[in-house]
Amino acid sequence: MKNKQLNIQQASEYFKDGMTVMVGGFLAVGTPERLVHAIVDRGVKDITLITNDTAVPDKGVGQLIVNRQVKKVVASHIGTNPETGKQMIAKELEVELVPQGTLAERIRCGGSGLGGVLTLTGVGTIVEENKRKISVDGKIYLLEKPLHADVALIKARKADTAGNLIYDKAARNFNPIMAMAADVVIVEVDELVEVGEIVPDEVMTAGVLVDKIFCVEGC
Amino acid sequence: MKAKEMIARRAAVELKDGDVVNLGIGLPTLVANYLPKGIDVMLESENGFIGLGSVGESTDSNLVNAGGQLCGIIPGGAMFDSAMSFSLIRGGHVDVTVLGGLQTDQKGNLANWMVPGKMVPGMGGAMDLVIGAKKVIVAMEHCAKDGSAKILKICNLPLTGKGVVDLIVTELGVFRVTEKGLLLTEIAPGVTVETVKGKTEADLIISNNLISMKNVS
């Protein structure tokens, strides 16, 4: 079996100017902080960032916004990071706000070979602007299209060397669906064990979806 | 009693034993503190679990509510990812949601996610909750800080959902959204109908069975 482990320098070689990156986490809970730091350190620019929220200025993906590395963000909430709103109003940052459930489904579609999803969410609001409406059995739905990324950075509590993952409580959030929706999936884990030590029934994300494993210091 | 406590106390009466409930951030979160005796509900937290409980002694930074605050999870709770969380919400598996509001109106519209040119925090999970939960309760102070009405004939802020609100609870009364318009069913102790009308832009229908607001005295 090929070795999926890499160090932080090797991980950062995947970060390129203009990349589209998905980053797991909800208000930075469940965000792979060290991988995000590596993007900051590498200084890549013009990123399209797909993430639930832009966290706070000094945590999670909030740092990428403060560091002005992001060209466009696709998220459901930006209110906890004042810098996002400031750059948006100054037209320095494009922000696409997506209802949280729709964001999750668009990512799921991107990783599941689906051409989109029909949802009632946003009908009758500005979210429906420029979207196709489709009537099914008398109900009007919005067509929401898939999202896909060059790289997904996700966080798990534990991996085996094949990349099978277990998440920790509310730190799961967007991580499992993002693990399906990118060309390269890099996971940051707190603990790495041998294959076989995680029983198949407990695996939350199958190792075949995970390309690279970065284990934090001391694991 | 403070306005926020009154609102939370009254909204809590709407919850039934066994309900799956999602409480919005801010005032709605207080509703959990005033559940009537014998009423147990399962609180859904849209960041990915059911069985939200009080924080107790927990210092676990991976166990937080949808506002990012440390919390607990009760025995029988369950964790899941964001896609499952919103499948529960949109799929009709949540009985009641209690949300705050910037504006609501007599058509049951709700605006609570942005003020153009001033504040654009984003909708988070609110747009999914209002179309998915079986019952949508807006729990908010009756007027804005500047004294202007928040219960309008028609919302002028960008909507969170169209025709989605079932019930509005404020510190002045309880308003049911009906096909004929907004029905005042309960009024706070010591408040007159004229006062309520004066602080409400929407047309009000006064219930023939108008009673004193429940659970606030």
Q: Is residue B67 part of a domain?
A: yes
Residues B191-209: what's their mean pLDDT? Answer: 98
How far is the C-alpha of B180 from the C-alpha of B123, rounded, in Å? Answer: 29
The chain-wide mean pLDDT, for chain A, equals: 97
Q: Which residues is A73 bridged to in the sheet? A: A49, A95
Q: Is residue B178 part of a domain?
A: yes
Q: Is residue B116 part of a domain?
A: yes
Q: For the segment A174-218, what is each residue's pLDDT rounded down to a tens digit?
A: 999 999 999 999 999 999 999 999 999 999 999 999 999 999 976
Residues B118-123: what's their mean pLDDT? Answer: 92
Identify the closest residue of chain B to A179 by CA–CA distance. Answer: B81
- Percent over 90 (pLDDT), chain A: 97
Question: For chain A, which domains are there?
Answer: 8-114+146-215 (3.40.1080.10)
- Percent over 70 (pLDDT), chain B: 100
In a mutational test of the B interface, the residue from A50, A102, A121, A142 whose CB has the highest number of chain B CBs within 10 Å is: A121
**Predicted confidence (pLDDT) at residue B163 exceeds the cutoff of 80:** yes
**Predicted confidence (pLDDT) at residue A2 exceeds the cutoff of 80:** no
Contacts of A104 in chain B (CB under 8 A): 81-83, 85-86
In a mutational test of the A interface, the residue from B128, B154, B164, B165 whose CB has the highest number of chain A CBs within 10 Å is: B128
Q: For the segment B38-96, what is each residue's pLDDT rounded down to a tens digit?
A: 999 999 999 999 999 999 999 999 999 999 999 999 999 999 999 999 999 999 999 99
CATH number at residue B153: 3.40.1080.10
- Judge: B49–A170 Cβ closer than 8 Å, yes or no: yes
How confident is the model at residue A219, as a pLDDT? 67
Burial of A27 (0-12, 13-18, 19+ CB in 10 A): buried
Catalytic residue, candidates B14, B46, B171, B186? B46
- Judge: A52–B82 Cβ closer than 8 Å, yes or no: yes
Which residue among B89, B119, B162 places its CB closest to the CB of A125?
A: B162
Which residue among B73, B81, B126 places its CB closest to the CB of A173?
A: B81
Tokens standing for residue B37: 């005796």
Sequence-separated (6 or more) residues with CB below 8 Å from residue A200: none
B158 falls in which pLDDT band (50, 70, 90)? very high
Query: How many domains does chain B divide into?
Result: 1
Nearest to A79 by CA among A104, A102, A52, A105: A52
- Percent over 70 (pLDDT), chain A: 99
Contacts of B89 in chain A (CB under 8 A): 101
How confident is the model at residue B117, as a pLDDT? 86
How confident is the model at residue A90, as a pLDDT? 94
How confident is the model at residue B63, as a pLDDT? 97
Mark whether B46 is an active-site residue: yes
- Judge: B68–A120 Cβ closer than 8 Å, yes or no: no
Q: For the segment A32-68, what is each residue's pLDDT rounded down to a tens digit?
A: 999 999 999 999 999 999 999 999 999 999 999 999 9
Nearest CA to CA, how far is B102 from chain A (Å)? 15
Q: Is residue B217 part of a domain?
A: no
Portion 4-43 of B in contact with A at CB < 8 A: none
Domain that holds residue B13: 3-212
How confident is the model at residue A217, as a pLDDT? 78
**Does the beta carbon of B77 lie under 8 angstroms from any beta carbon of chain A?**
no
Q: Is residue B86 part of a domain?
A: yes
Contacts of A169 in chain B (CB under 8 A): 49, 60, 62-63, 73, 79
The chain-wide mean pLDDT, for chain B, equals: 97
A1 falls in which pLDDT band (50, 70, 90)? low
Q: Is residue B208 part of a domain?
A: yes
Nearest CA to CA, how far is B106 from chain A (Å)? 16
> Where does chain B show beta strands of DSSP type E?
20-23, 42-45, 49-53, 72-79, 96-99, 103-105, 110-111, 135-139, 151-152, 167-169, 173-178, 181-187, 204-212
B217 falls in which pLDDT band (50, 70, 90)? confident
How confident is the model at residue B75, as a pLDDT? 95
